Structure 1
Amino acid sequence: MFHLKLFFTLLIFQTTGGFVPTIKSPNSSNIICGAKDASDEVDSNTQSKIHDGDGICLSRRNFGTSSMALLTAAFIFTRSPAAHAKEEDAEVVTPEMLTEAFRAVSTEASSPTGGIASLAEALNDGNWPFVLEFTKDYDLSFRKLIMGKARKMIPKTTETNAKLREQGLLLTNGVTFDLIGVNRAARTKDADAAKKAYNLLIEDIQKFLDLGSQVEF
């Protein structure tokens, strides 16, 4: 906000060569610049003055010669601070960081206390209420937060990595549809359909994990 205020202050000062005192006509609410009305100004050596509606008179010649300076000032003072901070804070991914991100996916998928194990147990027990609730929330907690983080860790530095990121996106989307398949089967208590969707889920997770070892640094 401070940058914007400073920019507009410079804008007014640059175009006018300084601030021009203004007065109000006793019989009119119009602000004038040393004349009866702004429209009555006489163009003398291209020095016609234009009223901007805020008590400031703009010189036509000064305005023309200062256009380039204003464009430069606009770029400097209106540049998004967030965009600038993003450039400065861009994180460089190391092989260790990538390994850790993919390890988090593997742990969630293979741990006896992880979400995948909990889902498998519920399916084996026919605990359909649990399956219904679990598959609604697991897409966000696992697919988006854990798998999504690992995929974004793949650098965009090579053509191979770019393809791996694309494959990762397809596989994470596949996980979403796999969970939807399990959820739909649970609504009708269709154990066979639920198991089929679950097996597809495991396959997509494994394919995703395989991407980690192919990343180039």
Structure 2
Amino acid sequence: MLRNEYKALQVKDIDSAGKGKAQIAVLSDIDNEGDTYEKGAFSWKSGGGQWAFMIPAHDKQAMPFGKGWVYEEKGAAMADFTLNLQTQAGREWHEALKFDLDTGNPVQEWSYGYRTLDSAKEIRENRQVRVLKQLDVYEFSPVLRGMGSRTGTLGIKSLKDDAFTGLISGLDELAAALAEGPDRISETGRKQLADIHMALGKALAGNGDEAEQKAQQLLVDQVVAQSLMTLSRRHLRP
């Protein structure tokens, strides 16, 4: 079964018209979760690349504020993107990203969402790694924390593990049910979600200074907690 996964990318540039470039991956790198890439992993589709939407914080319910062309160049996966400045979200993100890039060292982080269509386990550098051979990149997003070997940052890619497959695959179904009314979650389901959310919040809050703790907690609120809601599917009222 295909599942959603996430990794970091780095925005290199953005101009006044909303056009920019991002580096998605260095194909030869082995990241801190033991993944690397085969040449063609991103450019296997007809035309040598693939289109992906830009959405905030991997929120599939949000309106895209831009799109990008993902391709390979000189041993790296790149994305040439354009923000939709005809939309309010596009204009707001354009201003925010320009400010971040023009003011001191950029701190905005990004990650992209993809599904692995083909991969294999191999021994590289005296350890077993997963070689990603064919990826379906469907979105990239500004986030609080990304994941990647060159950025050294934290992210939600760990949710790809088999233990969390049910969380991710059922999220759309839960969202549809919640749209009909939040009372469709039973008290048992609500308590389960609250307990998990609290445990994650405590774990994350133990790292860094006060500002870092607040950022980490917000990450839980915006991303992880939403995915964990899938656990309540079994407690949905008919």
Q: TM-score range by the shorter chain?
A: under 0.3
Larger radius of gyration: 1
Name the structure, 1 or 2, with higher relative contact order (CA <8 Å, separation 6+).
2
Greater percentage in helix: 1
